[in-house]
Amino acid sequence: MGAFFGTDGLRGKVNVDLTFDVAYKCGNALATLKNRPTILIGCDTRTTCSFLTCAFSAGATNGGANVVDLGIVPTSGVAYLTRKLAVDFGVVVSASHNSKEYNGIKIFDKNGYKLGEKIETELERNFIQNKVCTFEKIGKYSQRHRLVKDYQDFLQNTTNCTLSGLFVLLDCSNGASSRISPKIFKNLGAKVKAFNTHCNGLDINENCGALHPEKLAKKVVDLGADMGFAFDGDADRLIAVDHQGNVIDGDMVVLGIAKHWKDKGMLKGDKVVGTSHTNMGIEKQLNNFGIGLVRADIGDKYVLEKMLTQNLVIGGEQSGHVILKDFHTTGDGILTALTLANIVKTTHTTLNDVCFAKPFPQTNVNVEVGDKFKVMNNENLAHEISKWSNFLGENGRLLIRASGTEPKIRVMVESNSQNQNQQIANRIVKLIEKIR
């Protein structure tokens, strides 16, 4: 990671970390990577998206790029359209699952893949330059919001049956899936009830969506729905809920789809990609099904790297990022939801049966800090991590990492005992709070 780019592009509080100047420089720098490139840009529903889209577009057009504004669209929609239309770059203005005061900039290459760290570093170097074109060579800005319909058609065509007879609830997190996901499920024949579909930008991810699936779980049970799907602000995450109100995280989703694909002879290499955070219980169940787990660093672009190098077709994170590589180049919450609904429909079963899992108890705590690097490089913390890792041995795991998108240290403890997990986590959190 560089000075500006984290594990998922630029991210920060608007007008604090992510300013007009930073967005302008990012657009201008991207325009220098190719001669007069064409750049697609889309956003989620945050009120600050228009501000940052204008800033980025001004910098890009001043550098000679032509910018095509897609309007509100899921992150994966930008990736899909970038590849389909054969343009040079796709850009998303979104802070994904973060609250409304945050925003970010994600960049895809012409193939629909997120930029690698090498290109991000080159892009950062160009921030210090200021490319200004002559009058004749200044790029154009245009709006083509109707292109989102092409992405909608792509998603609908990934299913091989209608979803008639299914009652599906959708929690759109007041984000980018609010307009498109209910249409898709309805067009495929499902009975649909959607929640949190405001597009005013003031309550995106606020007590709803993939970060708060317990609210959707209650609605699924109360309304007697077959399943529920909760997206985050830019719809690249999915957390599912079965008809009994059980929450199904990204690990369990990967398990369910992988087992179904293996039974159908569709699982290349008989392996899936997870992360260092993937639950040990999930790994054991995968192994019982004859499926191996390849672990990557946390971050969906690192998951994808493993998938590409080993030619594997499914990978994901516990947080709900799931990549189905035979269909798409990046995580897509709506695509994943459609895949699960399709499996339920064609197998005449329930989501609980498809994604049944016995994960180990896991304690996760996020600690806000002033200096992530100071904390992570502290010798006392290193000693504490070593002590508890040795204590857990093969019966558990301890993971301490700095968030790539927020000023937080993430603590995860996993073993057969939730009480033990909590006690160990509490000790480590206290030490981090002392260091910070």
Looking at the annotation, which residues are catalytic?
Answer: 96
> In sequence order, which ranges of 239-323 are alpha helices (DSSP H)?
250-263, 280-288, 300-310
- Residues 322, 319: Cα–Cα separation, whole Å: 9
**CA quadruple 239, 8, 428, 389: dihedral positive or negative?**
positive
Judge contact between 233 and 209, C-beta under 8 A.
yes
**CA quadruple 112, 114, 118, 124: dihedral positive or negative?**
positive
- Contacting residues for 193 by C-beta, under 8 A, at least 6 apart: 167, 168, 169, 170, 223, 225
- Residues 86, 193: Cα–Cα separation, whole Å: 36
Helix (H, G, I), strand (E, B) or coil at 196: coil
Place of tokens 């995860």: 412
* Cβ count within 10 A of residue 377: 11
Q: 336: which 2 tokens?
A: 């994943």
The alpha carbon of 326 is separated from its chain's Cα centroid by a whole number of angstroms, namely: 18
Judge contact between 144 and 68, C-beta under 8 A.
yes
Q: Which of 110, 114, 111, 65 is nearest to 94 (CA)?
A: 114
Identity (one letter) of the amino acid at 291?
I
Residue 272, Cβ density class (10 Å: 0-12 exposed, 13-18 middle, ≥19 buried): buried
For residue 340, what is the enclosing H or E element?
A: helix 333-347
Judge contact between 171 and 223, C-beta under 8 A.
no
For strand 322-324 and strand 362-368, is the pairing parallel, antiparallel, or unpaired? unpaired
- Residues 110, 34: Cα–Cα separation, whole Å: 11
- Residues 218, 211: Cα–Cα separation, whole Å: 15
169 phi, psi to nearest 5 deg = -105, 140
Place of tokens 């971050």: 299
